[in-house]
Amino acid sequence: MATFIVSTMVLWTFVFHNISTYRDLDRQVAETNAQMMAKAYHEYLLRTIRQIDQAAQLLRNEYAKELGGLNSRSQELFSVLSPDLLFQVAVIGRDGRLAFSNLQRVTDGIDLSDREHFRVHREREGDFLFISKPLLGRVSQKWSIQFTRKIFNDRGEFDGVIVLSIDPYHLGRFSESVSLAGRDVIALLRQDRTLLSRVLGGSYDEQYLGKVVEPRPYMDPHAPDSGVFEVTSYIDGVQRIGGYQKLRPYDLLVVAMVDQEAAFARSRSAALLGYLIGVGGTVLLTLAALATRIAIRTVFREYVTVKAMNAELKAAHEELADAHRALKRREEELVVLAETDPLCRIPNRRRFIAVAESELVRHRRYGRDLSIVVLDIDHFKVVNDTHGHTAGDAVLIGVTRVIRKRLRETDTFARIGGEEFAIVLPETDGGGAFTVAESLRQAVAETLIDLDAGRSATVTISIGIACLDERHTSVSDILNRADKALYSAKGSGRNRTVHGEECGLRM
């Protein structure tokens, strides 16, 4: 009897232990999947929002110049951005009335002073991107989410709002790049719990757009920036395991949730198998003590099976980790490609502006010298027209090689458009920048550049220099002054270097 009792206790202890182990493994896999999806969706939204914000700031600058420029630049953005991302550009004047829309000509301005984004920009200080609740456009008659920035007049006062209307469906298109089970969910919410986008099982779910969901602990402003949770949805009553990521700069929250029932399917099968083993073993032990050896062998075989399944789960978990690392590497590669000129293999304008902003902050903090050089290839159009665009590309590459060899590792050399290049020279005053610029100009002029089919050519460059001073404290100011110096060099006959007055050199 004692042997029977001990054997039965051992059997059921083994069964319950394995059921618990399987459930813990399924939970770990579900939490890992939810966290990885939330992280990937977070990165997707971060890139998308930054792209929209850059477009908003560009259009705001165009509006400050002239309204006609805003209309033409809007058309350019529509041709560059994804067609289902941006469908309306509008301007609300300081009086709250519609001043511009790319969808129709504005004659009698519609009163939009009750819109949330207009009131927020009018009442709050500072320059920031605001993301509205989903709303139905009075002009477009389409559901949209408004990405807005404040417009300032010449005195720095509130002068209206630039509005980019985004289709909410686009914010959920990330689901097309991942595999969602039937009741898996990814969603985007504002900090006030307003639902901006929801995808259920790979299908966009618009019926809850703009609804305010019930509060959860992870929605608290003081909660960590990321984590996992278990919840029963108030929308459909489904129990899910979720992961979240906060986009604090934009007061947004990303949530990815996997169906708990589907996630625990393997552990339920293991539990059923375990119960069958337990019941069968108990029956065998009860029927005859002689069957003890057979029962032990059965248990052992099941143990081997469980061990093999555990190994499969571990391998699957490692595969997920490898996939996550590969995704991370791919994201890093995409960042490099996005910031590198594809022809010359040097930083592009986006990377140049980022480096220049960083260097400007550092040099202003420590009171150090900083210069920016802008150069342009003289008569480049003639090269293209005479020898063809392939030869023009060869000239761009050849000039890039000549200049790169003569710069320091701390200097940033970038192609910022067409045949125009720019250089950030840290720790360099006006005299030093002029010396560097002249050496580059002479080196380019003395270099015979190989084109193709045995042809070669020489080119010259014109250079403009601007330096950091107390009056001009932004990268755009310094670049504008360098451009003016460049135009002066062009107008003075080309193949020369001109510096701004702030560089402390005699003209």
pLDDT tens digits for 97-143? 998 888 778 777 788 899 899 999 999 999 999 999 988 766 666 77
**Predicted confidence (pLDDT) at residue 331 exceeds the cutoff of 70:** no
Cα distance between residue 60 and residue 153, in whole Å: 11
**Predicted confidence (pLDDT) at residue 79 exceeds the cutoff of 60:** no
Q: Where in the chain is the domain with CATH 3.30.70.270?
A: 349-503
Cα distance between residue 4 and residue 286, in whole Å: 8
Q: What mean pLDDT, rounded, does the chain reach?
A: 84
In contact, 146 and 135? CB cutoff 8 Å: yes
**pLDDT number for residue 333:** 52
In contact, 99 and 163? CB cutoff 8 Å: no
**pLDDT number for residue 386:** 86
* Bigger pLDDT: 250 vs 139: 250
**Predicted confidence (pLDDT) at residue 409 exceeds the cutoff of 70:** yes
Average pLDDT on 53-58 reads: 88
Lowest mean pLDDT among 164-173, 187-196, 333-342, 421-430: 333-342
**pLDDT number for residue 23:** 85
**pLDDT number for residue 348:** 94
**pLDDT number for residue 337:** 62
* CA-based nearest residue to 218, from 253, 270, 178: 253
Q: Show Cβ contacts of residue 256 under 8 Å, excluding neighbours closer than 6 positions.
A: 34, 35, 37, 38, 41, 184, 185, 186, 242, 243, 244
Give strand pairing partners of 93.
160
Lowest mean pLDDT among 61-65, 125-129, 139-143, 147-151: 139-143
**pLDDT number for residue 188:** 92
Give strand pairing partners of 417.
420
**pLDDT number for residue 137:** 64
**Predicted confidence (pLDDT) at residue 245 exceeds the cutoff of 90:** yes
Average pLDDT on 275-283 reads: 79
Full DSSP string of 378-395: TTHHHHHHHH-HHHHHHH
Average pLDDT on 212-237 reads: 88
Average pLDDT on 412-422 reads: 94
Average pLDDT on 67-95 reads: 67
Lowest mean pLDDT among 37-46, 321-330, 383-392, 458-467: 321-330
**pLDDT number for residue 74:** 59
Position 187: which residue type? A
**Predicted confidence (pLDDT) at residue 507 exceeds the cutoff of 50:** no
Q: 482-501: per-residue pLDDT in tens?
A: 999 999 999 999 999 999 88
Query: pLDDT category, 32, cuts 50, 70, 90?
Result: very high
| CATH code for the domain defined by 349-503 | 3.30.70.270
Query: pLDDT category, 311, cuts 50, 70, 90?
Result: confident
User: H helices of 95-192, where?
Assistant: 116-123, 168-171
Average pLDDT on 307-321 reads: 70
Q: How far is CA 429 from CA 354, 356, 380, 504, in A?
A: 21, 15, 30, 8
**Given strand 203-204, what is the order of strands in its sheet?**
203-204, 195-200, 185-190, 252-259, 239-247, 226-232
| List 31, 62, 302, 419, catalytic entry | 419
Cα distance between residue 42 and residue 221, in whole Å: 17
**pLDDT number for residue 82:** 58
Q: What sign has the CA pseudo-torsion 34, 40, 46, 52?
A: negative
62 is catalytic: no
Cα distance between residue 375 and residue 21, in whole Å: 66
Lowest mean pLDDT among 78-82, 101-105, 110-114, 422-426: 78-82
**Predicted confidence (pLDDT) at residue 61 exceeds the cutoff of 70:** yes
Cα distance between residue 205 and residue 193, in whole Å: 17
Q: Crossing angle of helices 389-404/430-445, nearest 10°? A: 130
